[in-house]
Amino acid sequence: MSNPANIVSKLPNVGTTIFTVMSALASERGAVNLGQGFPDFNCDPALVQAVTGAMQDGLNQYPPMAGVQVLREAIAQKVKALYGYAYDPVSEITVTAGATQGVLTSVLCAVHAGDEVIVLEPAYDCYVPAIELAGGIPVFVQMTVDANGFSVPWDKVAAAVTPRTRMIMVNTPHNPTGTVLKAADIQALADIVRGTDILILSDEVYEHMVFDQQPHESLSRHPELAQRSFINSSFGKTYHVTGWKVGYVAAPAALIAEFRKVHQFNVFTVNTPVQYGLAAYMKNPAPYLDLPAFYQRKRDLFRDGLKNTRFKLLPSEGTYFQCVEYGAISDLPEAEFSKWLTTEIGVAAIPVSAFYNTPKESGIVRFCFAKKDETLQLALDRLARL
């Protein structure tokens, strides 16, 4: 007899994510979890009050499929004020169930079987599964790394383009490396796609975490690129509410029209009172305008403490991540070193090799500094043993 449970996997290479593995190990060993990227502190009580107020006002039924209008208007106003690009809140912005859903839906609506999608490695772990679910073919270009950190070899990106290239994925500020794209990077990307039908998926969930007075080079700053880009962002990252899973995608009307065809069937719409609460909270821009200074202070506190160890610090230009080389401490592979660090030193990290399709050993791990000061200090006290 046939076995109906004998399903052929659409993602045969996907197992339990490294984030789940390391968080479980950290919990088991009582380690300070600087692995998975989420804050261990609360959001602004005013945001909770705004969502609670929406619930109490009876805003608890289905919202419009694309998101409540007042939130889409607030998003459009923010983008226009920060980056100068005017998205139509009616036809060019869709509220999503987190940025991961935004990434998946952007790919599913635009990538067909056999299309190629260029992915810059190391890459966040949801990119390649999205491409594979769409029947696309990921084409990997590895970032270079030297004493100045990671950078994109745009000549290799250009060489990877073929007539079947449908999309290029970029991520700035970049997880896991903490680098940010500069004006020269944006120009190089524009030169590659100009005169083609190539689309861009720009993952900008850390847009409000760019340090040292650098600008965030959102693709919405650049009309030539904005006209072919799905731009993803995340309220969870910006407002310290990762568990709420609310984000948005901004794109030209023709792209959003296709995006919504998929969106309405893979999620339909997003939590109503949270949307109204976010819209009310966004009337005050200070929380996101002040975020770079908030996280830069934590970055500097953490980096200063790491100077007492044998780790070699790579630049952290944005995000809430710090990458370090550990070659002076151990010659273990990255995954094994991360487990050793968790079990023996009591601090969890994530191996950067996990962000490659075929794990690449560079002797680098990633820490998350989106933690209370006392959490960071406890981790630093333990890491001082190194």
pLDDT, the chain, mean? 96
What is the structure's pLDDT at 73? Answer: 98
* Helix, strand, coil shares, percent, the chain, to 5: 40, 15, 40
CA distance 286 to 293: 11
Q: Do strands 144-146 and 137-142 pair parallel, antiparallel, or not at all (unpaired)?
A: unpaired
149-151 vs 165-171, strand pairing mode: unpaired
How many CB atoms are located within 10 Å of the residue 18 CB?
Answer: 19
1 pLDDT more than 70: no
Q: What is the pLDDT of residues 208-228, one digit of tens each?
A: 999 999 999 999 999 999 999
Give the span between the Cα atoms of 224 and 254, in whole angstroms.
15
- Predicted confidence (pLDDT) at residue 362 exceeds the cutoff of 80: yes
Query: Token digits for 49?
Result: 């009050």
94 has which bridge partners? 249
Q: What local confidence, expressed as pLDDT, does residue 17 receive?
A: 82
Checking phi first, is residue 161 left (phi over 0); if not, alpha (psi -120 to 50) or beta? Answer: beta
CB neighbour class for 370 (10 Å; exposed up to 12, middle 13-18, buried from 19): buried
Per-residue pLDDT tens over the stretch 327-347: 999 999 999 999 999 999 999
Residue 39 has pLDDT above 60, yes or no: yes
pLDDT at 323 over 90: yes
Q: What average pLDDT does range 148-176 have in this prediction?
A: 97
Are 370 and 39 in contact by the 8 Å Cβ rule? The answer is yes
Tell me the pLDDT tens digit for each residue of 236-256. 999 999 999 999 999 999 999
Q: Tell me the longest C-alpha to C-alpha distance in the chain.
A: 66
Q: Per-residue pLDDT averaged across 8-15, rounded?
A: 89
- Please tell me the predicted confidence (pLDDT) of residue 19: 84
Q: Model confidence at 2, in pLDDT bands (50, 70, 90)?
A: low
CB atoms within 10 A of CB 318: 28
CA distance 267 to 40: 28
pLDDT of residue 352: 97
Domains of the chain: residue spans and CATH: 18-43+289-383 (3.90.1150.10), 46-283 (3.40.640.10)
86-104 residue pLDDT tens: 999 999 999 999 999 999 9
Tell me the C-alpha distance between 368 and 350, whole Å.
9
Query: What is the DSSP code (8-state) at residue 327?
Result: T
Average pLDDT over residues 25-30: 94
Q: What average pLDDT does this structure show over 258-280?
A: 97
Strand partners, 140: 119
Cα separation, 129 vs 132, in Å, equals 5
- Give the span between the Cα atoms of 238 and 233, in whole angstroms: 9
Q: Is the pLDDT of residue 80 over 80?
A: yes
Going 164 to 166 to 172 to 177, the CA torsion angle's sign is: negative
Relative to beta strand 199-203, strand 229-234 is parallel
CB atoms within 10 A of CB 161: 16
Token pair for 377: 């200090």
Strands 32-33 and 347-348: parallel
Which pLDDT value is given to residue 85? 98
